[in-house]
Amino acid sequence: MKPVAAGYSPLGAQRYPHDLAEPPSQLQQEITTSKKRIRAVRLLSRASSVIFNSVVFTIMAFVTSVFLSTRTDKVSSRNVWPAEGKTWPTYMLLAASLITLVIEISVLCFYWFSFYRAERSWKLVLVQHVAHFSMWLVVTFLYRYEKRLKDVWGWSCSDIAKTLQKDLNGSVNFEKLCDLQEVSWIFSIIETVAKVLFSIVYFIMYRRTKTVESKLKLADGLGDGVSQLLQAAF
């Protein structure tokens, strides 16, 4: 019987004994690197969302507190705020930033303690990103669209508010409120755009990883020669 050469592996057999650690191939290294990048992208997406929403929530909480504490104030026999003002856009942005902030912090904690399960739930990630983008697209549009004379943002930036501010003795700084609400709106736009960009990057990297995993499975099934060929090609 002809002796088998050392290191020889028949077609379809394992390339390394089960009791030895298999050296990582080029494809395996690429998969490992891709998964690390996917994890970094997802964590960065959540972390940036936490930062953006923290800024928006802080600003809107301040604006809301100023409005509620001065809504009955008067100057020159008139209210400093519109008598029948429209407040729901302010509450909408405040609530959206708070809800998103809580969700993103919770998801970050989930990633930290159970990332393997989160890593495999790509469909859940896709649904979350679509829902997140849709909600913020609507919120951002409505908040800007409803900027009129009667809402908190529109009134803060109006000429009437500037005229009243001269006699308020600093109790309400409408100019500051106007600028802060514009900043919160800009951050809401950044939040929306960032979520789209992160979603695109995540999808491309995920599909690339799955493609490489398929090639690796094919290589393991066909043998060492095909593995080398695939590694050289890809």
pLDDT digits (tens, 9 = 90+) for 183-206: 999 999 999 999 888 888 877 877
Judge contact between 156 and 86, C-beta under 8 A: no
Q: What angle do CA 68, 55, 169 make, to 5 degrees?
A: 40
The whole-angstrom separation of Cα 12 and Cα 39 is 33
- Residue 141 has a pLDDT of 95
Residue 70 Cα distances to 103, 162, 164, 211, angstroms: 32, 16, 13, 60
Neighbours of 190 (CB within 10 A): 16
The whole-angstrom separation of Cα 175 and Cα 26 is 59
For the cut 70, the answer to whether the pLDDT of residue 13 exceeds it is no
Q: Which of 92, 110, 116 is nearest to 185 (CA)?
A: 92
pLDDT digits (tens, 9 = 90+) for 14-26: 444 443 334 446 7
The whole-angstrom separation of Cα 132 and Cα 50 is 13
> Within 13 Å and on the Cβ side, how many CA atoms surround 64?
16
The whole-angstrom separation of Cα 158 and Cα 174 is 9
- Residue 8 has a pLDDT of 45
Contacts of 117 (CB under 8 A, 6+ apart): none
Quote the pTM value.
0.74
**Domain positions in the chain:** 29-213
- Residue 220 has a pLDDT of 61
Residue 218 Cα distances to 23, 26, 207, 211, angstroms: 18, 14, 17, 11
Q: Tell me what percent of the residues of the chain surpass a pLDDT of 90.
A: 35
